[in-house]
Amino acid sequence: MMQLQDILFSQGFGTRRICSGLVQQGLVSVGDEASPCTDPTALFEEKGLCFRVQGESWQYQLRAYLMLNKPAGFECSHKPGAHPSVYTLLPAPLRARGGGAAAGVQAVGRLDHDTTGLLLLSDDGQFIHRMTSPRHHVPKVYEAQVKHPLDARQVRRLLDGVVLDDDPAAVRAQDCVAVNEHHLRMTLTEGKYHQVKRMVAAVGNRVEGLHRSAIGTLVLTPELPEGQWRWLTPDEVLALTRKREKAA
C-alpha cells in the first residue's frame, strides 16, 4: 500500500509537494470513483491501480518500458544540438518518473537524428544494460535505402565482414539480404557509431535512408504512427529479457 501522493510522485507528476497539491485541489480520482480523492495520504494498492490526473487516465507502472516510432529530425539526447529532443515526444510524467538527477525514461541505445523507426525507452537500468551490452548480442534489424543498385558481392562482403576506419577488427552483419536493388535489410548485434552507414560505405555504396524495424524479439508495431509511443506488454518485456538471459 502506498500513499496517493507517493504514487503520483513515483509516476512522474512532480515533487511530493506538487503531488499533494494536485490531490488536495481535487484533480486526482482513483479507480472507478467519479469523485476525486482529496486526501494525499490515502492508501492504495499500487499494483494495477488506474487513476486520472486532470482528466487524463494513467495506470501505475513499477517500471516503464516503452516503444516509440521515432521520426526523422529528432536527437536521442536530453541536451540536443541542432534538432529537438526525442524526449519531447513523450508526456511530461514519463520524462520525470522517479525524481532525482536520473529521472525519467532513457533511450535504450540511440538512433541518429535522420534515422527513423523502433526506439525503446525505459527507467529500468538493468533492462537498459541487458539490451545494450555487447556481450548479450541483441539483434537489431535495419532497413536501408541505398543510392546505388545492390549486388551479391556487396551482400556477401557485409556478411563476411568489413573493416571500419576506427577498428582493425572486421565487423559483420548477422544477416543481410537485398530486398530489392535499393533496399538492404541488415541485422547487427553490435552498436558502433554510424555502423550501418559506415559498413555500407565500406562496400562502395551509400545509405540515403535508414529505418530500424526490430530489436530482439520486438518488431515495430505497424499501426503506431511516427512520433507516437505505447507501453510494452508484460509478455513483450519478458520475451526480450528471457532471450537475453539465455544468451548471457
* Residues annotated as part of the active site: 112
3-state DSSP call for residue 79?
coil
Distances (CA, A) of 194 to 49, 110, 165: 42, 10, 12
Rg of the chain over all Cα atoms, to the nearest angstrom? 21
Are 158 and 186 a contacting pair, CB within 8 Å? yes
**Could you identify the residue written with the cell 497539491?**
21
Is residue 131 within 8 Å of residue 154, measured between CB atoms? no
Coil, helix or strand for 75?
strand
- Distance from C-alpha of 13 to C-alpha of 203, rounded to nearest angstrom: 50
- How many C-alpha atoms does 127 have within 13 Å on its Cβ side? 21
Q: Tell me which long-range contacts 93-99 makes (C-beta under 8 A, separation of at least 24).
A: 93/11, 93/12, 93/13, 93/58, 94/12, 94/64, 94/66, 94/121, 95/12, 96/12, 96/13, 96/14, 97/10, 97/11, 97/12, 97/64, 97/123, 98/10, 98/12, 98/123, 99/9, 99/15
